[in-house]
Amino acid sequence: MRVVVCGGGIVGLSAAHALAERGVGVVVCEAGSLGAGNTERSAGGIRTQFSTRVNVDLSLASLPVWETFEERFGVDIAFRRPGYLFLARDGASAADLRDAVAVQRDAGAETELLTPDEAHEHCPELRAERYELASYAATDGFADPHLALQGYATAAREAGVDIRTNTPVTNLEVAGGAADRTADVTVTTPDGRIGCDVLVNAAGAWAARVGAMAGVDLPVAARRRQVAVVDPETPVPESVPLTIDLDSGSYFRPEREGRALVGGHFGGEAAASDPDVDPDTYATGMDTDWAVTACERAGETAGYFGPETRIRRGWAGCYAVTPDHHPVVEVSRPGVVTAAGFSGHGFQHAPATGRVVAELCLDGAATHVDVSGLGRDRFDGDTEAERHVA
């Protein structure tokens, strides 16, 4: 079997590596440089705290790889684990948080429900009086996406993967179909045509365009998301968790030397001014007005962020978003496997997703994680948005 992976982000490289480990000849076609789509712009979060079982399962299946990454790939990805702290201000969000923790614990995650005073012990400047309930998982943390990407790229090459950068896929032809997963696929690039049995669409924010070439309609939109690095008024200790206010959408986490990374998607007027963007032309710089708002929202959560907080720098990335903030992972048609639309969760779920993609290509079904609910046919009816989208 021969497989072409469209997309050289961490999901595509994880899939290529998993396929090569099973003896498949793999070509990766990346339109730009590796990770240039969104991996290099990720905040690097790795968590088990989600409100749906499939996201928790993808996290738990990925966690052993993140924990042993240096042993497996020879790269220290600076995986720090101060935990994630989710905060609920009112009865409705507290009820949602209780339900989410029940899902997590049922799946095997080590999540705790905390009182605001207990949460304050993890985040000493927390404005605990604002909150009704919190959840915390000590297994959660964050890593360096660039280093992880390089680890996968090196391992994939060593396993025989042909990685081609600056090689966009310009056309696809899919003919015939054997069983329910392979076909005669011709991939056209500026450097020529490549024949294969399966095309893996791991193109992130460009996935809908790639899908359209193959006759697959994907409800994946590109959305701009921003991050700022700041010098807080009071330095944030590295032991403080990544802290998320579920009601405001704000989050922050410690960086080195007392600095902090702040972000969030704030809803309301922000959502109204946040339409789909063109992933080829969106502004990759940070908006100063947004950064000021992000710091103000972080200041509502914790006393680290007072009026003397200084904004140092920032950037914007491009999420590949579906209507329910869950990815499409499926055999879309014979010869086309899709792994896209992770809505900001692709980095942390890449290890499990890569193995699932290999199973879909070679076995026709996934056994590593049950992704049967991640087919695009779920959008034929109503959808329910995922709460934990920080």
pLDDT of residue 268: 44
Q: Quick one: which of 92, 89, 140 has its CA closest to 112? A: 140
pLDDT of residue 177: 65
Q: What is the pLDDT of residues 13-61, one digit of tens each?
A: 999 999 999 999 999 999 999 998 889 899 999 999 999 999 999 999 9
What domains, with CATH codes, occur in the chain? 2-45+146-219+324-380 (3.50.50.60), 84-138+222-321 (3.30.9.10)
Q: Is 141 exposed, middle or buried (0-12, 13-18, 19+ CB in 10 A)?
A: buried
**Please, are residues 75 and 143 in contact by the beta-carbon 8 Å criterion?**
no
Residue numbers in the chain where pLDDT is lower than 50: 267-273, 383-390
pLDDT of residue 381: 63
Q: Quick one: which of 268, 353, 302, 354 has its CA closest to 122? A: 302
Q: Quick one: which of 197, 132, 160, 133 has its CA closest to 361? A: 197
The two tokens of residue 280 are: 């080829």
pLDDT of residue 382: 53
